[in-house]
Structure 1
Amino acid sequence: MKPVRVRPNDPRVLPLVSMHLDLMRASSPACSVHAMDADGLERSNVLFVAVFDSDEAVAIGALKALDGTHGELKSMHVRQDRRGQGLADLILDRLLDEARTAGMERVSLETGSQETFGAARAFYGRNGFTTCSPFAGYTADPNSFFMTRAL
């Protein structure tokens, strides 16, 4: 299995995009949910990738260009029953490769500060991301945790 480019509105990925958004809404106050629905991802012209098992998306992720040298990871999600199989690594590696190819020098992300997001923060930390200040219009928020990585 390897990540492939797909549109966020592709019917094969919509259930996983919705699942991700529902989890974000259940885990954070509404004012601190920065996940985008499929239409928002589509309008933002993000590079969106998915890993499929048969014709069903089991992992997704997106890369949003902030400017010519800085990108943001969006909507990284692995279906719960498929976690621990290295799918997040596949998605992240593909998105970082795409960022490098696009000439980006840095990739940042926003995730939650709550315990629910502890595994995500640890995953990004293991992959070279470090804590940073809010970026690209984000503001300090006790429910948000910001990370960045030079490429």
Structure 2
Amino acid sequence: MPLLIRPDDLTGEATRALVAAHLAGMLENTPVESMHALDADRLMADGITVWSAWVDDELAGIGACKDLGDHRAELKSMRVVSSFLGQGIGRAILRHIVEDAEERGIRSLWLETGSTDDFLAARRLYASEGFRECPAFPPYEPDPLSTFMTRDL
């Protein structure tokens, strides 16, 4: 399965639909006050890079990285299309983001994900790629529905 991961400007219908599906999925499992996913317009802000992963001409997933300054960055909006789950797409996107961050001189990556069982697969993926749990980092506040993780590069 050849996988192409490329920068995405979020103007395409497929990527915008996946971002919308990501938000809807987050709201199914997380109260709005504990949901930190960004919509497509906010993902287009300065300092955020979005990548899309494609198998042939079919969108398989997305991931983003937000520059936090001081050689730090945050993973955002990791999502794999349901028909591609279990095929290593999420891991490939994560590794791509890590490699890009290293090339840009980022020294640490940070993330916020859910703490409930609905997010167990995500937490396991991040842990298997060297992320460890940590306290909340700015701009987040501690939240029992959030798990915070970091990895030094």
Structure 2 length as normaliser, TM-score? 0.94
Contact 1:68 1:103 in 2 (8 A): no
Match of 2:83 in 1: 81
Structure 1 107/130 Cα, relative in aligned 2: closer, same or farther at 3 Å? same
- Moved beyond 6 Å, runs of 4+: none
| Aligned equivalents of 1:68, 1:104: Cα separation in 2 | 8
Q: Of the candidates 123, 126, 130, which is equivalent to residue 125 of structure 2?
A: 123
Contact 2:14 2:59 in 1 (8 A): yes
Query: Structure 2: 5+ residue runs without aligned partners?
Result: none
Bigger strand share: 2
| Aligned equivalents of 1:54, 1:44: Cα separation in 2 | 29
Q: Of the candidates 111, 135, 150, which is equivalent to residue 148 of structure 1?
A: 150
| Aligned equivalents of 1:142, 1:83: Cα separation in 2 | 27
Match of 1:71 in 2: 73
Deviations 1:15-68 (A, max 9, x none): 111111110111101100100000010024411101113433211000000013
Aligned-pair identity in percent equals 37
- Cα RMSD, aligned residues only: 1.1
| Aligned equivalents of 1:9, 1:75: Cα separation in 2 | 16
SS at match of 2:23: helix
Query: Structure 1: 5+ residue runs without aligned partners?
Result: none
| Aligned equivalents of 2:100, 2:112: Cα separation in 1 | 19
